[in-house]
A and B are shown apart, each in its own frame.
Chain A
């Protein structure tokens, strides 16, 4: 039975990391209706910045974590300013393709640094012994990851619900023209959306980097891995990202724990999310929590 609970706990842990990674997609989509395919690369960049600050500049990891979050905040904002500002009002495929181009550009930039081809790992800064409770264990790194995720997601929810800027971001996502007419600067809102997404990406990157070690391939693949999560939750729902993240985490753990090795099945954890994704798209196209665009065809 403890095996089952371990799967549940692991699923929740992995799921919350998924949720944090998915958050970046949601934040951008929520205000500007853009799907940022380069998100995985930004996650990787965030992790590398944290590492560079910690190890090469010798700053304490807590401070460098905060610093890297701030840096990616501005980086993502400038990415929006330089590449995406011009494309406001262009068809959706153009914007998606720009993010694909961006992906390639960030790849190229990372290959200029040692991170492109070498492997690194964060210095250990948390106690190694895991927290064990009734045969179920969770490591400190994972626990801290979950805590950071919770804090970030809670504050984003608050931000969108209560703060003036948050409300204006929601307004923009609802109707750009109407929000412009009440004096909201749409470009600024877009910039802010990207910036916050960058912030969450750096946080996600640092956490994943701590768990897997820093390998560019592994890190940027995360951008694609969390797609099913984003869709399951609904592209524009923060709560959706959390719930879907945890559901996907659980499904993957159960698939790996109970399906693999039986009936000649292997590696199901990798493909199952996409199968579920297709099924969801057929029956609940806007995800669990996504807003239904009422539009009869």
Chain B
């Protein structure tokens, strides 16, 4: 009995200590800040604080993990190569396990730390924190390209074209390259607002004269077998399936299609189905999941891929090598994505610094808005320039279509801007 109570007491004390520690840490901060201000007075190198909250574990961690590596590596690189001179960037990266509550906590913490620019991740948390961004007047670049992020929002900047634009872009690609009558298209989407959002925009584009016929919208579940769905689509004469979801369901779908011999060998092969998909359906993860079934899969994104060598991809591979990342991370488009948002952040910091303004949330936001025309930013890792203005909060407007050939993504044609998306 005595022994137990001693153990219990020890544990209680340990617990109490842990609690006081977490609170005590809090108390230290103002002191640290005060010190920092003194340092700033002395005109010594400054530290700019940034924050990133994303899902490194939990749902979508397959994308979040390389993304975080990209951000981390680029900021390290920026500091080491002195892009901002003697000043350095300190970016807090925190795992939120795809939970909005945790994202909010991280954000509040970052705000206390005094961040000047914020990087976010999921659609859910971007929408959930939209009001906070507005009130705090802080520029935010999320990893979600959901068009709804921009509704009633001034401070959210999508890095590349929204999902809606991508889907319309793919539909346009189908419409222009299809031989014969109006192509019959099915949409294969994620059962959530993330998946459904672009469908309505695509339907609007069709009303505006985009020449495709949307035969069916399929929302997938956790299906193990899509044979019936595919047969139904084929019996309705569907020749193109545009996917907007994550990789795993697409992999199951195209694997089933491959077994049935339904996958078209070339774009628009008669009697077969050509599969296309937006940003989060593709990438090397899709090939890893689907194997040979991924062949002839058409994918739209605005990033350069390491399978299509160029200056941007060379820089990316060098970066990954520099920090000892494995091949898988180095070649992941999510790594590119992470690098690119870090580039944007570094660039606005550099510009604000060059113009001699104090680095604050406002000045960075202004720099973001000024990023257009001759001021556009060419980050190398994308297929077009990053442009933002008061009315355009989607960074890279160009889309590049990639096609899987023998297990690697190859560029198809030149980057383009979806015409109907511009009309909306």
Contacts and interface: CB of A to CB of B under 8 A. Distances in A.
B260 A137 contact: yes
B62 A119 contact: yes
B259 A137 contact: yes
Interface residues of B, number: 42
Residue from the set B229, B258, B259, B290 with the largest chain A CB neighbour count within 10 Å:
B259
A213 interface: yes
A117 B62 CA distance: 4
A269 interface: yes
A208 B251 CA distance: 13
Nearest to B256: A139
A225 B222 CA distance: 8
A253 B228 CA distance: 8
Given A3-B235, A10-B228, A257-B228, A130 B259 contact: yes
Contacts of B191: 266-267, 270
B266 interface: no
A217 interface: yes
B216 interface: yes
A216 B61 CA distance: 10
Interface in B220-235: 220-225, 227-229, 231-232, 235
Interface in A63-117: 107, 111, 114, 116-117
B83 to A, nearest CB: 29
B200 to A, nearest CB: 14
A102 B213 CA distance: 49
Interface string A246-268: 00000011001100110000110
Interface SS of chain A: helix
A256 B59 CA distance: 24
Contacts of B61: 111, 116-117, 217
A267 B248 contact: no
Nearest to B189: A266
A179 interface: no
B57 interface: yes
A53 to B, nearest CB: 18
Contacts of B227: 6, 9-10, 137-138
Contact of A215 (B56, B217, B248, B291): B248
Interface residues of A, number: 50
Nearest to A255: B221
Residue from the set B224, B252, B288 with the largest chain A CB neighbour count within 10 Å:
B224
Interface SS of chain B: helix
B252 A211 contact: yes
Given A212-B248, A215-B62, A3 B261 contact: no
Nearest to A10: B225
Contacts of A138: 227
Interface string A165-177: 0000000000000
A17 interface: yes
Contacts of B400: none
B328 A217 contact: no
A118 interface: yes
Interface string B61-84: 110110000000000000000000
B415 to A, nearest CB: 27
Contacts of A197: none
Given A128-B258, A130-B260, A6 B251 contact: no
B73 to A, nearest CB: 16
A218 B288 contact: no
Interface string A195-228: 0000000000000100111111110011001000
B288 to A, nearest CB: 5
Nearest to A107: B57
5 nearest interchain CB pairs?
Answer: A213-B289, A270-B221, A266-B219, A117-B65, A267-B191
Given A130-B259, A213-B289, A266-B191, 7 more contacts: A9-B227, A13-B224, A114-B328, A121-B288, A137-B260, A141-B259, A213-B291
10 contacts: A14-B224, A14-B225, A118-B285, A120-B289, A123-B291, A124-B291, A124-B292, A215-B248, A218-B248, A260-B219
